[in-house]
């Protein structure tokens, strides 16, 4: 077993790899860009080395700098994680040439399996079922048009060197082929530096089922059962689970057997995933699945496999890379229970999934976070009182800043239950009480997806989210008022016994009125808590004396209590202009020594998705300023101070 490891990645996968390394006593070296100077994976590593500027091309994709960092730190090997350079054959070979251990398959294997057309030729030769299509060298328009006619529309155009859903186009009829072909080639050249494409028969209601395989340098190959990754948006996975719903045992044996046969045919070493496309319009059967592609790395969704088998796949990777055999034989790999994983991303589903960035004012993933167990506990079979196992793989903590430079995934929530229903119920509960404040997140969208009857019935397919996007993307219209109602109910609770301790707005000769004005979602609402429908799942985290993060069915709302006292002080004058709530200072219009008039705008803040102009309380001269443009400021922070009169 190697004793030191450089992790050529960031975020949750870097932290995940470190978890296993700590248990095994392996020293970890992190690499980081300018954008990740204070990142969690940097804090948790035994050593961290700066490798460049924020753009990935100048840091995480710079193979030379990463190898130099490994040598400088004394690392014995490099683990690439996933994404970035994880499936770059040239990088894998350069690592070995530098005298380091590469935690992954051989570069030659990655190269031949990384090309979709070559991978399918290898699969065909190994006797693995493959969809009808064209994978020839001729790339002229006439050949592709003729081959498309042979296959029959609808078809998919796929980039030969593609991945991650890039370079794929759906063509429903011959008239659309030329335009879609031009678009696919252009994207393939831009994304992969290779404009070659292949054609494939379209499965109109596809499911995506993949098999986790593992090989070693001693000629052994095994599978660790299958995962269903059919819940996707724009060909990007959203929720994954293991085993696949509705999987008959004979189909499982055929699919996993085909995957192992393919891995053995190429002498595969390390962790890999053989992906199959499945006809979702029919029940799973021996003639309903076809080879899609092979991913020559650890997958994002590997935790669900770990939870149903009890295996630590990162440990397996390290042992195989060190020359050891696979830890278990096929007969000794168990299949227990059902596990499901949701990818938590910094994006706004209601705004066409616009990526977000910024400081995490609050970051709590509900029961999954509070009950999450370590890898040692998974192996020992630890669970809560209901037999559920919760796991959180996160690259961030509250207070961290999510950069805008990289992929939007910030965490994964994984739950194992005794069956699919129990695992899905537990995941729904955890997502429902999640609080993520400071950036947008997709947790409400995830909850709506897994709560939907179609998903619960296992009838979803790769295109299902697109068909139901209007229902799934946006929260309930009543959600902001419900969030405000939770805070209103708490604030209006009596402070003690007797009428003088009541908080119901009592006035002589008038009926009681139990209401309060609160700011939420950019609006100020008059809230009577008794008139608000309370949500089924919610949680609250105070951010300050007047600001609360409220989680309602997976959505997080910032609820503010207006500071009327500060407004009154501003009306009568004073010496200071302070921040009325937490936010960002986006403009400072004065500096020390300037003369100002009463009600002159001296600063502008951004908070609650709105701009707030702050005015001078009186005539006078500026004594000092307390913040700079771009600063995140706390409620009550001094922004501008006037000289005493």
The Cα 19–Cα 302 span in angstroms is 15
Domain end marker among 336, 368, 391: 336
Residue 511 has pLDDT above 70, yes or no: no
Q: Does residue 116 form part of some domain?
A: no
Residue 333 has pLDDT above 90, yes or no: yes
What is the per-residue pLDDT across 535-585, written as a single tens digit (0 to 9) for each?
878 899 999 888 999 999 999 999 998 876 655 555 556 788 988 877 889
Please indicate, yes or no, whether residues 305 and 164 belong to a single structural domain of this protein: no
What is the per-residue pLDDT across 117-135, written as a single tens digit (0 to 9) for each?
889 999 999 999 998 889 8
The Cα 346–Cα 556 span in angstroms is 12
Q: Report pLDDT for 497.
A: 65
- Strand extents, DSSP E, 216-361: 221-233, 236-242, 270-279, 289-295, 338-345, 347-348, 354-355, 358-359
Q: Determine contact, residues 240/427, Cβ cutoff 8 Å.
A: no
End-to-end Cα spacing for the chain? 73
Mean pLDDT of 44-72: 97
The Cα 404–Cα 440 span in angstroms is 12
Please indicate, yes or no, whether residues 181 and 217 belong to a single structural domain of this protein: no
Please indicate, yes or no, whether residues 47 and 89 belong to a single structural domain of this protein: yes
Neighbours of 38 (CB within 10 A): 11
H or E stretch at 604: strand 601-607
Q: Report pLDDT for 77.
A: 98
Q: Is 469 helix (H, G, I), strand (E, B) or coil?
A: helix
Phi, psi of 45 (to 5 degrees): -80, 160
Q: Average per-residue pLDDT in the chain?
A: 91
State the residue for tokens 């990818």.
Answer: 343
Residue 52 has pLDDT above 80, yes or no: yes
Domain end marker among 201, 224, 241: 201
β-bridge pairing 638-642 and 620-625: antiparallel
Annotated active-site residue 43? The verdict is no
Residue 407 has pLDDT above 50, yes or no: yes
Q: Does residue 241 form part of some domain?
A: yes
Please indicate, yes or no, whether residues 189 and 288 belong to a single structural domain of this protein: no
Residue 612 has pLDDT above 90, yes or no: no
Residue 363 has pLDDT above 90, yes or no: yes
Q: What is the DSSP letter of 459?
A: -
What is the per-residue pLDDT across 414-428, written as a single tens digit (0 to 9) for each?
999 999 999 999 999
What is the per-residue pLDDT across 365-394, written as a single tens digit (0 to 9) for each?
988 887 776 555 555 445 666 789 999 999
In a 13 Å sphere around the CA of 480, the CA atoms on its Cβ side amount to 15
Q: Report pLDDT for 154.
A: 92
Mean pLDDT of 155-163: 87
Cβ within 8 Å of residue 305, ≥6 positions away = 212, 224, 225, 227, 242, 311, 313, 339
Q: Report pLDDT for 380.
A: 44
Q: Does residue 110 form part of some domain?
A: no
β-bridge pairing 401-402 and 358-359: antiparallel
CATH number, position 151: 3.30.1490.20
Q: Which has more pLDDT, 496 or 222?
A: 222
Q: Does residue 114 form part of some domain?
A: no
Q: Percent of the chain having pLDDT more than 90?
A: 74
Residue 534 has pLDDT above 70, yes or no: yes
Mean pLDDT of 46-69: 97
Q: Percent of the chain having pLDDT more than 70?
A: 92
Q: Report pLDDT for 383.
A: 62
Q: Does residue 177 form part of some domain?
A: yes
Please indicate, yes or no, whether residues 127 and 269 belong to a single structural domain of this protein: yes
- The encoded tokens of residue 349 equal 């589903």
Q: Does residue 504 form part of some domain?
A: no
Residue 325's Cα: distance from chain center in Å?
Answer: 33
pLDDT band at 499 (very low <50, low <70, confident <90, very high): low
Cβ-based burial of 50 (10 A; exposed 0-12, middle 13-18, buried ≥19): middle
Of the ranges 34-48, 152-166, 365-379, 627-641, which one carries the lowest mean pLDDT score? 365-379
H or E stretch at 29: strand 27-33
Please indicate, yes or no, whether residues 213 and 289 belong to a single structural domain of this protein: yes
Q: How many residues comprise the chain?
A: 645
DSSP per-residue string spanning 77-127: EEE--SSTTTT-HHHHHHHHHTT-EESSS-HHHHHHHHSHHHHHHHHHHTT
Which segment, 251-260, 382-391, 481-490, is predicted with the most confidence on average? 251-260
| 447 closest CA partner among 420, 468, 426, 478 | 426
Q: Report pLDDT for 530.
A: 78
Please indicate, yes or no, whether residues 24 and 150 belong to a single structural domain of this protein: no
Please indicate, yes or no, whether residues 244 and 166 belong to a single structural domain of this protein: no
Q: Report pLDDT for 19.
A: 95
Q: Determine contact, residues 485/538, Cβ cutoff 8 Å.
A: no
Active-site annotation holder among 10, 16, 65, 297: 297
The Cα 392–Cα 373 span in angstroms is 8
Domain end marker among 301, 319, 336: 336
Mean pLDDT of 431-456: 96
Q: Does residue 407 form part of some domain?
A: no
- The encoded tokens of residue 468 equal 């139901």
Mean pLDDT of 506-524: 75
CATH number, position 624: 2.40.50.100
Q: Report pLDDT for 190.
A: 87
Q: Report pLDDT for 522.
A: 78
Of the ranges 16-25, 183-192, 261-270, which one carries the lowest mean pLDDT score? 183-192
Q: Which has more pLDDT, 612 or 444?
A: 444
What is the per-residue pLDDT across 184-194, written as a single tens digit (0 to 9) for each?
999 989 888 89
Neighbours of 476 (CB within 10 A): 15
Cβ within 8 Å of residue 548, ≥6 positions away = 487, 540, 541, 542, 558, 559, 560
Q: Report pLDDT for 572.
A: 55
Please indicate, yes or no, whether residues 196 and 252 belong to a single structural domain of this protein: no
| 603 closest CA partner among 591, 595, 593, 615 | 615
* Total tally of structural domains belonging to the chain: 4
Please indicate, yes or no, whether residues 213 and 196 belong to a single structural domain of this protein: no
Please indicate, yes or no, whether residues 233 and 325 belong to a single structural domain of this protein: yes
The Cα 116–Cα 138 span in angstroms is 15
CATH number, position 92: 3.40.50.20
Q: Determine contact, residues 397/438, Cβ cutoff 8 Å.
A: no
Q: Is 220 helix (H, G, I), strand (E, B) or coil?
A: coil
Q: Report pLDDT for 496.
A: 62
Q: Give the domain range for residue 246.
A: 123-131+203-336
Q: Does residue 282 form part of some domain?
A: yes
CATH number, position 318: 3.30.470.20
Please indicate, yes or no, whether residues 140 and 151 belong to a single structural domain of this protein: yes
Question: Measured at the alpha carbon of residue 380, what is the angle toward residues 378 and 383, in degrees to the nearest 5?
Answer: 60
Q: Report pLDDT for 570.
A: 53
- The encoded tokens of residue 199 equal 């054609």
């Amino acid at each position: 077993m190697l004793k030191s490891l450089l992790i050529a990645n960031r975020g949750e996968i870097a932290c995940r790899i470190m978890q296993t390394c700590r248990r095994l006593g392996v020293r970890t070296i992190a690499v980081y860009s300018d954008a990740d100077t204070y990142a969690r994976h940097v804090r948790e590593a035994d050593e961290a080395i700066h490798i460049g500027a924020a753009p990935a091309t100048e840091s995480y994709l710079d193979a030379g700098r990463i190898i130099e960092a490994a040598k400088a730190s004394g690392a014995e090997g490099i683990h690439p994680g996933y994404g970035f350079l994880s499936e770059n054959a040239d990088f894998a070979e350069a690592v070995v040439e530098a005298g380091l251990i590469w935690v992954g398959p051989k570069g030659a294997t990655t190269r031949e399996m990384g090309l979709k057309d070559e991978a399918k030729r290898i699969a065909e030769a190994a006797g693995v079922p493959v969809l009808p299509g064209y994978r020839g060298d001729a790339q002229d328009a006439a050949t592709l048009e003729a081959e498309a006619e042979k296959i029959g529309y609808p078809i998919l155009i796929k980039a030969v060197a593609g991945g991650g859903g890039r370079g794929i186009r759906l063509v429903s009829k011959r008239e659309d082929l030329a335009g879609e072909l031009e678009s696919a080639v252009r994207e393939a050249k831009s994304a992969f530096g290779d404009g070659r494409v292949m054609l494939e028969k379209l499965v109109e209601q596809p499911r995506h089922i993949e098999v986790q395989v593992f090989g070693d340098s001693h000629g052994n190959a095994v599978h660790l059962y299958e995962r269903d990754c059919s819940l996707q948006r724009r060909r990007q996975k959203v929720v994954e689970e293991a085993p696949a719903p509705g999987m008959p045992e004979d189909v499982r044996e055929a699919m996993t057997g085909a995957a192992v046969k393919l891995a053995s045919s190429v002498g595969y070493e390390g962790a890999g995933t053989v992906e199959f496309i499945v006809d979702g319009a029919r029940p799973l059967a021996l003639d309903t699945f076809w080879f899609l592609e092979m991913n020559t790395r650890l997958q994002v969704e590997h935790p669900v496999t770990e939870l149903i088998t009890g295996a630590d796949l990162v440990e397996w990777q390290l042992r195989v890379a060190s020359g050891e055999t696979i830890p278990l034989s096929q007969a000794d790999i168990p299949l227990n229970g059902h596990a499901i994983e949701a990818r938590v991303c910094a994006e706004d589903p209601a705004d066409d999934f616009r990526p977000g960035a910024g400081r995490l004012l609050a970051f709590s993933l509900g029961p999954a976070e509070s009950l999450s167990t370590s890898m040692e506990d998974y192996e020992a079979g630890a669970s809560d009182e209901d037999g559920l196992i919760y796991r959180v793989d996160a690259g961030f903590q509250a207070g961290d800043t999510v950069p805008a430079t990289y992929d939007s995934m910030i965490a994964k929530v994984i739950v194992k239950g005794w069956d699919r229903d129990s695992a899905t119920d537990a995941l729904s509960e955890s997502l429902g009480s999640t609080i993520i404040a400071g950036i947008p997140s997709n947790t409400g969208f995830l909850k709506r997806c897994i709560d939907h009857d179609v998903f619960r019935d296992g009838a979803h397919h790769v295109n299902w989210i697109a068909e139901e996007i209007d229902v799934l993307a946006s929260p309930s219209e009543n959600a902001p008022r419900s969030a405000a109602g939770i805070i209103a109910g708490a604030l209006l609770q009596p402070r003690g016994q007797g009428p003088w301790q009541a908080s119901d707005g009592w006035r002589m000769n008038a009926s009681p009125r139990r209401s309060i004005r609160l700011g939420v979602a950019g609006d100020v609402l008059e809230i009577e808590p008794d008139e608000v429908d309370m949500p089924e799942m919610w949680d609250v985290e105070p951010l300050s004396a007047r600001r609360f993060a409220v989680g309602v069915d997976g959505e997080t709302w910032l609820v503010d209590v207006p500071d009327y006292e500060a407004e009154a002080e501003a009306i009568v004058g004073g010496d200071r202009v302070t921040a009325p709530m937490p936010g960002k200072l986006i403009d400072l219009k004065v500096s020390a020594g300037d003369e100002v008039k009463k009600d002159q705008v001296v600063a502008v803040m951004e908070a609650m998705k709105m701009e707030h102009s702050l005015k001078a309380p009186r005539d006078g001269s500026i004594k000092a300023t307390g913040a700079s443009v771009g600063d995140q400021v706390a409620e009550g922070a001094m922004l501008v101070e006037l000289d005493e009169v």
